[in-house]
Structures are given as structure tokens and as C-alpha cells.
Amino acid sequence: MTLDIDFVRAQFPAFAEPALAGQAFFENAGGSYTCTQVLSRLERFYRERKVQPYAPYEASRLAGAEMDEARSRLAAMMGVEADEISFGPSTTQNTYVLAQAFRGFISPGEAIVVTNQDHEANSGPWRRLAEDGIEVREWRIDPETGHLNVDDLEDLLDESVRLVCFPHCSNLVGEINPVTEITALAHAAGAFVCVDGVSYAPHGIPNAGDLGPDIYLFSAYKTYGPHQGIMMIRRALADLLPNQAHFFNGDARYKRFTPAGPDHAQVAACAGLADYAEALAAHHGAPAGTPAERAEFVHDLMRAQEVKLLQPLLDALGERNDVRLIGPKDAALRAPTVALDLGRPAEPVAAALAGHGIMAGGGDFYAVRALDAMGIDPAQGVLRLSFTHYTPEKEVNKLIDALNAVL
């Protein structure tokens, strides 16, 4: 089945906006456009249901029901239980709260494993646990390729390791890490697993239940939704960690890791992510099945489209000797997030691309540790080019032409 790009783009009002006409969007890794299903729910909530939810009057009942719908439908897509899904203002904030919970769970002298491939959100909060006597071990990338070698992780694991944190894929390297293999290795050593899925989920929300980690994090605003962080924590771990919310919310798993009250409207609007996935599944003839099975169909549809468009871009960049392409050259092994080391400041090149109708960014993208490890000056940063399933082939061709003009 081939993705119907015209149908897809019709679901995103941004593509019909005159102010954005003629501009190809290649900074999706920083935040995607929002689908109409989410926008419609958000507007309806603010118009009709902007009251304190879960009271017995109708507007309040509907508000609470829509928030519950978002949680239950996303859980079903991800192959987990509804009370294993929590919402927060961002994945950065969610990870910070989790780190505080683990601070009260792990004892001094025990260890955690972090990587230097991660966005700082899944690195810095965990590293601060060293202040309480917890050993922090670093799983280091290959300085040439940015690759995380699973064999290197094995050398870091022993009976003292309680947690392993790593990205599903890096927001710079782009390589898709083998989550199930890594999780099995960590579990065999007695450790829990936390996966940052922020840079992967925009390319198809995964079945976290099948993947196997204890924690899976991603951001709705990068998966065509509102600015929320979505956090999956399996019941067995959630019940072990100390409550981080109001004491009277400690018995509700989906409230335990939300210290502040939820953003009612944005949580409710996240149900639009499920609406969008279902619209894609129905339009493309997905077979009947569970929400997780239909979500997997959509995931595969998105990935096939992205791989097809990404390979020509990687081939074009691989032929150049004036840039360093970070990560794999095989599109099937990575997300369509491509970072280029130019050997000079990247932001002026991004500005030059804007003159050719290309929206892209230059900088460190909160992955300073990865840049340092690969010998790239964070002050110069990298040029990052990222797209999703809604990017048409003609815009990828336009990007290649623009790069030829400015590099």
C-alpha cells in the first residue's frame, strides 16, 4: 500500500496557509505541524468544555470523558493499559519528575546507565542522581559514526545497575536503536529500562507493549498534536516508585508522576492523535483489528514513505566531500532526521536555505554531549534536516537543489 500524500496533506491546515506557501518544512524534529483532528478537538474543548472536569454537570462530564478517551485510546494504540499512560507539559519535564522518583528508589552505591547519544532531557536529570551517591555509567557512542554498540552495554551491566536509559533514535544521529534487544539485555541483568522515543514516535507511534521497556516517552507536539509529553510506565514499576504528586493522588497510577494538574484541553486534544491514525488506517484499507494492530499498519505506511524519500537525500549527501553526514547512509536504518557537520557554523547555512524556501535549523539541538563525542564544536553545531510522512517527493528534490546552491 502506497501512502496517499494528497489525503495526508489535506489533514494538516498548515499546508493551506498562504503565509507558509512555497516553503518546505524540514525542521519537523523540533515540532511537527498539527493535524486537523487535534485542532478540532482543542477548539471544541475551549468553546464548549473549558470547565473543571469530572463534575456531574454535562460540560464537565464531557471534558473529563474526553481526557479519559485520550488516555485510553493512546494506550490501546501502544499495546498497554490505560492507567500506564500519563501526560505532562513536556517530555523534558516528565523525565525530570521520573528522575526524582528514582532518586527515592535507588540506593547509594547502586548504578544507572545513560548514553551520550541522547537529547539532554534523557541524560542530564539522570546524571544528577550522582549527587546522592548513585553511580552513573556512560554508554558511549562511536566517535566516528555516532552508533551505540550493544556489546559495549554488556560491559557496563552487572547486579548493581537498576536502570538503563537510551533513545529509540537520536535527534542528531537518527539511527534506530534495537529497543527490544537492549531491553532484554537490561532486564536479564535486573535493570529497568527507560526509552526516549521523542525522535522516533513522529514516524509511527510504536507498540511499546511489544517493544518491552518499562518506560517509553514521547512528545505529542512532535507527533502532530498539542504541546504535551506522553509517558508510558508499566504497572510493575509505577507501583514501586514513590509518588511525585499530591499525596491523595498516590493511588492513581496515571496521576502519580504529574506533580502539577494536567492541562485539561491539551490532554483531551491528544485523542485527535488516535483520530488521525484511524483516518489514515481507514483511508488506506487497513484490515480490521485491534487499535494496536491498526496503529502498526499506519506506522509501517509512514515508514515506507519516509524510507523511499530519504534514500535519495542520503545518496546525494553521501556523494559530497564538503560535509560529514552523521549516522547511517541506509534509510532503512534510521529516521528521516539528518544532521550534517559542515566544519563551520551551521545557522548561517540554515538562514541561506530559507532564501530558497527551505525551513531548517542549525545548532546543537540539546545534544551537546553527542557533538562533543563526535568531535564537533557545539558552538558551530550541525545543520539538521528532518521530515515526516507528510513531506512530498518534490520538496525533498527542492531541498537537494537548495543544498547544492548553498553548500
Please state whether beta strands 337-341 and 382-386 pair in parallel, antiparallel, or not at all (unpaired).
Answer: antiparallel
Task: Report the C-alpha gap between 231 and 218 in whole angstroms.
Answer: 7
Q: pTM to 2 decimals?
A: 0.97
CATH superfamily of 5-35+291-406: Aspartate Aminotransferase, domain 1 (3.90.1150.10)
Q: Where are the domains of the chain?
A: 5-35+291-406, 41-274
Handedness of CA 388, 391, 392, 396 (dihedral sign): negative
Site of grid cell 506506522 = 299
Per-residue b or e along 73-86, where b marks 16 or more CB atoms closer than 10 Å to that residue's CB: bbbbbbbbbbbbbb
pLDDT (tens place) for every residue of the chain, 407 residues total: 899 999 999 999 999 999 999 999 999 999 999 999 999 999 999 999 999 999 999 999 999 999 999 999 999 999 999 999 999 999 999 999 999 999 999 999 999 999 999 999 999 999 999 999 999 999 999 999 999 999 999 999 999 999 999 999 999 999 999 999 999 999 999 999 999 999 999 999 999 999 999 999 999 999 999 999 999 999 999 999 999 999 999 999 999 999 988 999 999 999 999 999 999 999 999 999 999 999 999 999 999 999 999 999 999 999 999 999 999 999 999 999 999 999 999 999 999 999 999 999 999 999 999 999 999 999 999 999 999 999 999 999 999 999 999 99
**Which overall architecture, per CATH, does domain 41-274 show?**
3-Layer(aba) Sandwich (3.40)
Decide whether 5-35+291-406 matches 41-274 in CATH topology: no
How many CA atoms within 13 Å lie on the side-chain side of 45? Answer: 26
